[in-house]
């Protein structure tokens, strides 16, 4: 049974909450795909509180999803290609115990609606080629647009870029 959820824009006051959520989500999400060293390195590069603040100040809009009064997930998006009207979903994560309740779909729909209002024609996202989340995105009409290998420090992210026309 779905419990009630709500979504709101995050501010810099929410950085500690996003960091705590990421700590609880990051390792379970990636430990079967990446080495522990890579998981730890990438977490530090992306989710250190000062890095989250920079992301908010520069280009990313963050959303927080609450189940009743508890934060259980977050997403972030930014403009990718203004002339093409393409936005990018930079992050979307739910606590492992909260997956399968429709929250991810609701959070993704909220991002799609916001970027459409900003003039988006398409929304792109990156997903690791071995991440089972690829099937989730395919069910929501995303398709593999291209493959890319992204260096992150001494490591590589081997991703699909998936796209949905809006």
As a whole number, mean pLDDT of residues 150-156 equals: 93
* Residues 100-150 pLDDT 10s: 999 999 999 999 999 999 999 999 999 999 999 999 999 999 999 999 999
Strand ordering across the sheet containing 5-9: 5-9, 61-67, 70-81, 86-94, 122-128, 155-165, 143-152
**Superfamily covering domain 5-119:** Gcn5-related N-acetyltransferase (GNAT) (3.40.630.30)
The domain limits of the chain are 5-119
Cα angle 120-123-127, degrees, rounded to a multiple of 5: 165
2 pLDDT above the threshold of 60: no
Predicted model pTM? 0.94
């Amino acid at each position: 049974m779905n419990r009630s959820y709500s979504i709101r824009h995050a501010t810099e006051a929410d950085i500690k909450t996003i960091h705590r959520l990421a700590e609880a989500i990051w390792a379970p999400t990636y430990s079967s795909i990446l080495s522990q060293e890579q998981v730890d390195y990438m977490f530090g590069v992306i989710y250190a509180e000062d890095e989250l603040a920079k992301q908010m100040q520069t280009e990313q809009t963050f959303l927080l999803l609450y189940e009743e009064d508890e934060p259980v997930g977050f997403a972030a998006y930014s403009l990718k290609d203004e002339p093409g009207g393409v936005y990018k979903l930079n992050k979307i994560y739910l606590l492992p115990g909260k997956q399968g309740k429709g929250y991810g779909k609701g959070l993704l729909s909220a991002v799609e609606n916001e970027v459409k209002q900003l003039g988006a024609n398409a929304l792109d996202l990156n997903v690791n080629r071995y991440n089972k989340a690829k099937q989730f995105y395919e069910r929501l009409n995303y398709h593999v647009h291209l493959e890319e290998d992204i260096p992150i420090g001494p490591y590589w992210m081997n991703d699909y870029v998936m796209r949905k026309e809006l």
